[in-house]
Structure 1
Amino acid sequence: MAPSTVPTATLNNGVEIPRLGFGVFQVPDDETAAAVTAALETGYRSIDTAAVYGNEAGVGRALAASGLPREELFVTTKLWNADQGYDATLRAFDASLAKLGLDHVDLYLIHWPAPARDLYRDSWRALERLAEEGRIRAAGVSNFQPGHLLRLMDGSALIPAVNQIELHPGLQQAELRTFHAEHEIATEAWSPLAQGAVLDDRSVGDLAARYGKSPAQIVLRWHLQLGNIVIPKSVTPARIRENFDVFSFSLTDEEMRAVAALDRGLRTGPHPDELN
């Protein structure tokens, strides 16, 4: 396995997370082990899955087969909406852990606020317990808006370490990123390439030609220079390697502004207030 050369970010509880990870959203379970193995061989050490993806077992098979020490790996999974609630969260976590074949995960996220269910505060209490027991190294959320975060933190001693949100040049979520910074919550970007929707933009193409890189590499570099944690996905080994090769160049301030000009409120997934 290739050694990892990815810089890390320090979360608000002192845990370090690689700034570049590998996502497996929409990867069938029977293809997941091969994709994760290719990622680990490339040098990725952070793997992001979720209960609802149906591929935690595939991730677990790849991790077990890799031979890598557990302390070199950073594994994230997520609680699905139907499993929210205190006791249900604890049961769902046990199920995820069993599928992964692990005795702990590095980051456990509430996948969506699901506001109509109004159970995310109960789920958060369960995550607090899991953190106290050492079964998760860091607790966080995904797709939470400022109002959800404020309600979650009200009366809680534990502030989310991460909020994983849809974030790419077409949807930059500046207000939410500012909120994160004010509360020491790390911003992690899912769909960092907008499922390819921003890769044909002329300004991205011009930068790719200038640096001899792919449009995807330009966008991933933009994320990293913004300070985001980023988790691109692919099942193609060449693309997995390409997405990892983003540390050998830097964009100028002017070039960063050119990519930032692409913000247009483009969502590839549902709005967090609408999914329950």
Structure 2
Amino acid sequence: MACKINIDLGNGKQMPALGFGTWQATDAELENALESALEAGYRHIDTAYVYENEAVIGRVLTKWIKDGRLKREDLFIVTKLPPTGNKPSGVEKFLTRSLKNLNVDYLDLYLVHTPFTFAERGEDIHPFNENGEILIDTSTDHVAVWKEMEKQLKAGKTKSIGISNFNKKQIERILSNCEIKPSNLQIELHLYFQQNELVNYCKGKGITITAYSPLGAPGIGVLLKKLNAAKEIPDELANETVKKIAEKYNVTPAQILLRYTVQRGIAAIPKSINPTRIKANISIFHFELDNGDITELKALDQGSSGRVCDFKFFKGIDKHPEYPFPECL
């Protein structure tokens, strides 16, 4: 059975509140995990051009549709404009590529992945120089990019458009110059980094929120280790308050973290390749946290110090004029 809890995007469309994240998995791992996710009821599938897994996702979804197990309209597919394409000329180009990779005629939500831009160097999605620094393009123009995003929506290539990793000032710039406002902002958000100010701002503007790394960013820790930039990633699943509340409801700590996020009216896209965890992660709608639980969990917020994904694993990214996290400079 598919997840029945949805978030209203404010444009007549709805997004399942619990989605399936797909970042950092091999093709074989993702193919098996996505099969498990679809069987468990996930219909909101989140990916990105830079994840380099759209084609795998497309193969699995196409098979389910051809087998009659799903219809295209049952799915909510999200992907993102890569940093190398974050310019007016890149929007249609990369959206068209993503549609081809996913083997679909339209997306349900297309996001600008980052507010900064990488230089284009052939097909290199992460262009580095000889010193290991990311090659940046400082000509980023959010308003011009957003106008191209609006064109893609009007052309029917995506049902909704949004942004990811943008800060309040950058969002305000788009809102002050747009014809169609963003339907969604996808950001790092979890127990230790609850982003209350930005969430409240967006809710006031009618912009929905999707939380990536809702279980505390262990995937980012894996990436940092690969890049020899490892730092301590707190284990939110081992938090004593979380474990206590999980025992109270006879659920897992992960289910508590996800329920807390969704109960705030925020979508969450946990990623797992473990079939048991995949099934458990979506099984969060049979209980509701009470006010006491909410108070205890809210108190665990660490503010900006809880941020894990500051993008500094891209050496030199903080030199970009649109680097979104001034508190990390």
What SS class does the counterpart of residue 136 from structure 1 fall into? Answer: coil
- The 2-side partners of 1:214 and 1:26 are apart by 23
1:28 is displaced (CA, Å) by: 2.1
> Equivalences for 1:74-93 in 2 at 5 Å?
74-93=76-95
Query: TM-score scaled by structure 2?
Result: 0.80
Partner residue, 1:206: 244
- The 2-side partners of 1:221 and 1:36 are apart by 21
What is the aligned counterpart of 1:60 among 22, 34, 58?
58
- The 2-side partners of 1:192 and 1:205 are apart by 16
What SS class does the counterpart of residue 17 from structure 1 fall into? Answer: strand
Note if contact 1:207-1:218 (Cα within 8 Å) is conserved in structure 2.
yes
Segments of structure 1 that go 5 or more residues without pairing to the other structure are: none
Amino acid in structure 1 at the alignment position of 2:25: V
- The 2-side partners of 1:14 and 1:46 are apart by 17
1:186 is displaced (CA, Å) by: 0.2
What SS class does the counterpart of residue 61 from structure 1 fall into? Answer: helix
- The 2-side partners of 1:43 and 1:189 are apart by 19
Partner residue, 1:96: 98
What SS class does the counterpart of residue 45 from structure 2 fall into? Answer: strand
Partner residue, 2:202: 180
Note if contact 2:7-2:16 (Cα within 8 Å) is conserved in structure 1.
yes
- The 1-side partners of 2:201 and 2:140 are apart by 22
What is the aligned counterpart of 1:155 among 177, 188, 197?
177
What is the aligned counterpart of 2:276 among 238, 256, 260?
238
Deviations 1:185-213 (A, max 9, x none): 00110000113521111100101111111
Q: Structure 1 residue runs of 4+, over 6 Å off?
A: none
Note if contact 1:6-1:20 (Cα within 8 Å) is conserved in structure 2.
no
State yes or no: 1:273 paired with 2:324.
yes
What SS class does the counterpart of residue 137 from structure 1 fall into? Answer: coil
Partner residue, 1:19: 17
What is the aligned counterpart of 1:138 among 135, 157, 160?
160
Note if contact 1:140-1:162 (Cα within 8 Å) is conserved in structure 2.
yes
Note if contact 2:202-2:208 (Cα within 8 Å) is conserved in structure 1.
yes
- The 1-side partners of 2:27 and 2:139 are apart by 29
Greater shift after overlay, 124-133 or 195-204? 195-204
Greater shift after overlay, 73-82 or 120-129? 120-129
- The 2-side partners of 1:163 and 1:57 are apart by 24
1:183 is displaced (CA, Å) by: 0.5
What SS class does the counterpart of residue 47 from structure 1 fall into? Answer: strand
For this pair of structures, how many residues does the alignment match?
273
Note if contact 2:82-2:112 (Cα within 8 Å) is conserved in structure 1.
yes
1:117 is displaced (CA, Å) by: 4.3
- The 1-side partners of 2:254 and 2:107 are apart by 29
Larger Rg: 2
What is the aligned counterpart of 1:123 among 127, 145, 153?
145
What SS class does the counterpart of residue 105 from structure 1 fall into? Answer: coil
- The 1-side partners of 2:95 and 2:39 are apart by 28
1:156 is displaced (CA, Å) by: 1.0
Partner residue, 1:250: 288
- The 2-side partners of 1:261 and 1:84 are apart by 37
Segments of structure 2 that go 5 or more residues without pairing to the other structure are: 118-137, 219-234, 312-322
Partner residue, 2:125: none
Note if contact 1:84-1:122 (Cα within 8 Å) is conserved in structure 2.
no
What SS class does the counterpart of residue 4 from structure 2 fall into? Answer: coil
Identity among equivalent positions (%) equals 36
